[in-house]
Structure 1
Amino acid sequence: MTTYDTVQELLRRIGEGDVERIAELFAEKSDWRFNWPAEGHPSVPWIRPRSSRSDVAEHFRMLGSYHVPELNGTTVTRILVDGDDAVVLGDISQTVAATGLSYTSPFALHLTVTDGLITRYHIYEDSLTVARAHSGSATA
């Protein structure tokens, strides 16, 4: 598969919510990064360092358990590809299971695909909005 094909397949699998099939698209070891300076924040425990395929499955499993899947959505506005690298731009809309609060955050996802597998997953989003929705307060 090309880089673009792999990105499209990742987005499709994320939309379906099948965490094991999402993880299959990742190399056994990968470089994960979040724009979160608040690693370990109690409201968002899925935000932590990751590096293995099993970490990928755990991340998406946890992310799903903290949200109401049928009330969530992602809008992709652009996919840019340059060789092995891709950038996905869009908006994430989620509803928090514990608080019932909904939020929307713009995001940028930088991926690298090597030999058909994802080796880099760096996501940038509005972490303050996410933390506020999960903590149920106006301040995180």
Structure 2
Amino acid sequence: MTSDAHGTRDIVEALLGRIAEGDYPRVAELFAEPVDWRLDWPVEGHPAVPWIRPRSSRAEVADHFRSLAAHHVPELNGTSVARILVDGADAVVLGEIVQTVKANGVGYSSPFALHLTVEDGLITRYHIYEDSLTVARALTA
């Protein structure tokens, strides 16, 4: 139940690549069941942001990324990764989310930190910290 830094980095890079490609079933394949999932919002989520809610299964992981994509203009996604830090089974991805809401055309940006843990080649922890209030405000503008 461990992962070396090289294996962790490989899984993180595979995750980021699959997210960028929009291949959500293949994104979900990288996750353990159950997964320790947390987004930077109260556990019950927010009614204006349907993808911010508790998740634990691969099907729910795929649904998260599909829902996120369905609410944004893909051509205007400027999300970027600045750094990937790896320490054994743990990785932190630092970057900036840049999106435009499909329903109202409102753009927003937020720095983010994503804490991942990889064990036996699968992601067992996915905790993302972002300015969720900015996201909610953009969706309700």
TM-score bracket for the superposition, by shorter chain length: over 0.9
Query: 2:14: which partner in 1?
Result: 9
Could you tell me which runs of 5 or more consecutive residues in structure 1 were left unpaired when the two chains were aligned.
Answer: none
Task: Trace 1:1-140 onto structure 2 (pairs within 5 A).
Answer: 2-37=7-42, 39-136=44-141
- Cα RMSD between the aligned structures? 1.2
Q: TM-score, normalised by structure 2?
A: 0.92
Distance between the aligned counterparts of 1:118 and 1:104, measured in 2? 26
Task: Quote the offset at 1:59 in angstroms.
Answer: 0.5
Between 1 and 2, higher relative CO (CA 8 Å, sep ≥ 6) is seen in 2
Task: Quote the offset at 1:70 in angstroms.
Answer: 1.3
Could you tell me which runs of 5 or more consecutive residues in structure 2 were left unpaired when the two chains were aligned.
Answer: 1-5
Task: Quote the offset at 1:72 in angstroms.
Answer: 0.7
**Would you say how many aligned residue pairs link Structure 1 and Structure 2?**
136
Q: TM-score, normalised by structure 1?
A: 0.93
Secondary structure of the residue aligned to 2:59 is helix
